[in-house]
Chain A
Amino acid sequence: MEIFNHLAIGFSVALTPANLGFALLGCLVGSLVGVLPGIGPVPTVAILLPLTFYLDPVSGLIMLAGIFYGAQYGGSTTSILVNMPGETSAVVTCIDGHQMARQGRAGPALAVAALGSLFAGTVSTAIIAAAAPPLAKVGLSFGAPEYFSLLVLGLIAAVVLAHGSVIKAVAMIILGLVLGMVGTDGNTGGTRFTFGTTMLIDGIGFVPLAIGVFGIGEVIANLLQPERGRIVITQNLRDLWPSREDFRRAWPAVLRGTALGSLLGILPGGGATLSSFAAYALEKKSAKDPSRFGKGAIEGVAAPESANNAGAQTSFIPMLTLGIPGNAVMALMVGALTIHGIQPGPQVMNERPTLFWGLIASMWIGNLMLVIINLPMIGLWVQLLRVPYRLLYLGILMFCAIGVYTTNNNPNEVLMTAVFGVMGYVFIRLRCEPAPMLLGFVLGPLMEENLRRAMRISSGDPMIFVERPISLGLLIAAVALLLLVALPAIRSKREEAFQEEAL
């Protein structure tokens, strides 16, 4: 069995003391930002991105991945104990999780969330290991026209599954594509949009953009929001173990959540948040007695928490095999790889098996660590909930500035960060999701390159995209997706799906 050989390579990489350490560090930081409201995995990964440039690429990726799925664990803690989501993907967990805590059953709620996540993490890691090689083979057979069409499909799918206005999301992607074109044009050597300054000749840095929009922008938004008091439910935390009845009820919900999350994670634009909402809706719909939900039903904790972890992990699949990030964290990972000189895509698995399989193996190890981090050490995280935002944001500011500066030792990039920070707040204010913009920014140069290459192959005939069967199929899928969203029936469904989130 090839897969076992691969996993053996992976574990031999992931189990080195250094990489174990970085996985643990990532999981700890992830749990921390997951627990703390006001800072999530996207800004954290953005802020810590520059640090990874001084690490081995494998170690860097292992740490960043740990932050992402670690945040899924930590987020549930805050949801259950404070009734305030530590993380957007844990919003639905508040509904039943906090009710359980009020009934004095915070322990079982936390335990089910963590064990469900561990199960989901194990299954989805196996899915990645099994699904990645065949997908990468498909990816390798793609030429420039197919790649261009695939990118179009990926970006459109990201829009369909993003929240808020579809038109705004499309506009944000295109804005990202345009921002990606600033600087010297690799093909002609001409400069674009530099406004005659030398500062922009090398293009807009990925790090200043990401940190500005996600880090600084959110700090501004949070400071404008008055700080709400938090009531932490801390009693009964010793009694962690769920009862037999809890297990009986939670088990099928964990299975369903894992399946749904794994599926939605693979789709571009999917990932943790969408998965948890969908899983909660599914539980409520399929339950014999839906009225129990909202009053502390354990399924309402088990399903979304399993789903968000599964979704977080399977969202690595398109990034690792095709080089196409499905969400903002994956876009950041692509940025990290690119800065290390690794072009993400199907060739990564063959050219750098240690990186690829090491990362996958580390995910499973990380999930195991997270259960230990989150269950016995729950008291520590509860203490952290008492850190007020007025102290937290000072630290965020510091790490934003120093992180950007150390990327290239270039103060101009910190300057750009400030500009993008203001831009980031404007986006939040205007209900424009910044994540699609980041996807566009990362994929922009790739898209232009493939478009130009395709045009050279066909000597300027755009029909090449419809004449090649795979390319045509992908484009049809993209158009179909767009039409689906445009149809009124689906639109109302989609609005319904995101409605609960608004509450």
Chain B
Amino acid sequence: MFMGIAVLGLAVSWDYPIGTAVRMGTGYVPRLFLWILFGLGLVVMVLGLQGSGEEGADDPPLQWRPLVLIPASQLLFALTIDRLGIVIAGVLMILVGGIANRESRWHEVVISAVALVFFVWVIFVWALGLVIPVWPGG
């Protein structure tokens, strides 16, 4: 049952590029590959539906915190780095990343954030001399 749902999700995600490929493809190479992919997706789905669903049995239960907040921490970094600089963007990212884990302890996360930002500044800005915005407007 679990496999069925999982594979259904796979098939949907694979259907998506196929639909657009037929319209957008320049040349037949992508189209060729996408049809093969479509066929394989179908086979996987059929096999998955036939299977007993044992494969997913030992998976840990899904939790929203890591699943949403880890990517969110990267998104936040992407949105803030150019305007606010590495210090604020970095600390914000680590804080959000820290909330993602239920086992995190506040003081550890804060100390890590400061230490990591300093570390990154030393390596990338000071030692390698890269042009990274450090402070807002900088």
A390 and B74 contact, Cβ closer than 8 Å, known pairs A54-B128, A174-B36: no
Asked if residues A216 and B108 are in contact (CB atoms below 8 Å), the reply is no
Count how many chain A residues have C-beta atoms less than 8 Å from C-beta atoms of the other chain.
61
Chain A at the B interface: SS class: helix
**Is B87 in contact with chain A by the CB < 8 A criterion?**
no
Q: Is B24 in contact with chain A by the CB < 8 A criterion?
A: yes
Contact B97 A394, beta carbon cutoff 8 Å: yes
Could you give, for residues 101-130 of chain B, a 1 whenever the CB lies within 8 Å of some chain A CB and a 0 otherwise?
101110011001100110010001000101
| Complex alpha-carbon distance, A216 and B74, angstroms | 9
> Which among B7, B43, B100, B112 is the interface contact of A391 at CB below 8 angstroms?
B112
* Known A223-B101, A394-B116, A415-B75; contact A402-B90, beta-carbon cutoff 8 A: yes
Residue of A nearest to B97 (CB): A397
Q: Which residue of chain B has the shortest Cβ distance to A179 in the bound complex?
A: B17
Residue A190 is within 8 A (CB to CB) of chain B in the complex? yes
Residue of B nearest to A223 (CB): B66
> Restricting to B1-21, which residues have a CB under 8 Å from any CB of A?
6-7, 9-10, 14, 17, 20-21
Residues 403-424 of chain A: 1 if any B CB is under 8 Å from the residue's CB, otherwise 0? 0011001011111011101100
A226 touches B132 (CB 8 A): no
With an 8 A cutoff between CB atoms, is A451 at the interface? yes
Q: How far is the CA of A451 from the CA of B78 in the complex (A)?
A: 37
Q: Residues of A contacting B103 with CB < 8 Å? A: 227, 390
Chain A residue with the shortest CB-CB distance to B25? A192
A281 at the interface (CB under 8 A from B): no
User: Any chain B CB within 8 A of the CB of A171?
Assistant: yes
A62-80 vs B, CB cutoff 8 Å, 1 = contact: the mask equals: 0000000000000000000
A425 and B24 in contact, given A175-B37, A224-B62, A412-B78 (Cβ under 8 angstroms): no
When each residue 39-58 of chain A gets 1 if its CB lies under 8 Å from chain B and 0 otherwise, what string results?
A: 00000000000010010000
What is the chain A residue whose CB lies nearest that of B55?
A: A431
Q: Which of B77, B108, B116 has most A Cβ within 10 Å?
A: B77
**B29: which of A223, A399, A448 is its contact (CB, 8 Å)?**
A448
Q: Are A188 and B27 CB-contacts (below 8 A) given A216-B74, A401-B77?
A: yes
What chain A residues lie within 8 Å of B90 (beta carbons)? 398, 401-402
Among B63, B65, B67, B117, the one with the most A-chain Cβ atoms within 10 Å of its Cβ is B67
Measured CB to CB, the nearest residue on chain A to B37 is A174
Alpha-carbon separation in the docked complex, A42 to B106 (Å): 30
Report the bound CA distance from A187 to B103 in whole Å: 52
**CB pair B27 A185 closer than 8 Å:** yes
Smallest Cβ distance from A438 to chain B, in angstroms? Answer: 16
Pair B66/A185 contact, Cβ less than 8 Å: no
The answer for the CA separation of A451 and B44 in the assembled complex, in Å, is 28
| Cβ of A117 to closest chain B Cβ, rounded Å | 29
A430 & B108 in contact (Cβ 8 Å cutoff) = no
Nearest chain B CB to A156 CB, angstrom units: 13
Given A193-B30, A419-B71, 14 additional A-B pairs, CB 8 A:
A167-B47, A177-B33, A181-B30, A192-B30, A220-B71, A224-B66, A393-B101, A394-B97, A397-B97, A401-B93, A406-B130, A411-B77, A415-B78, A421-B71
Binding site for A on B (CB under 8 A): 6-7, 9-10, 14, 17, 20-21, 24-27, 29-30, 33-34, 36-37, 40-41, 43-44, 47, 55-56, 59-63, 65-67, 70-75, 77-79, 81-82, 86, 90, 93-94, 97-98, 100-101, 103-105, 108-109, 112-113, 116-117, 120, 124, 128, 130-132
Residues of A within 8 A of B (CB): 51, 54, 165, 167-168, 170-171, 174-175, 177-178, 181, 185, 187-188, 190-193, 195, 216, 219-220, 223-227, 390-391, 393-395, 397-402, 405-406, 409, 411-415, 417-419, 421-422, 425-426, 429-432, 448, 451-452
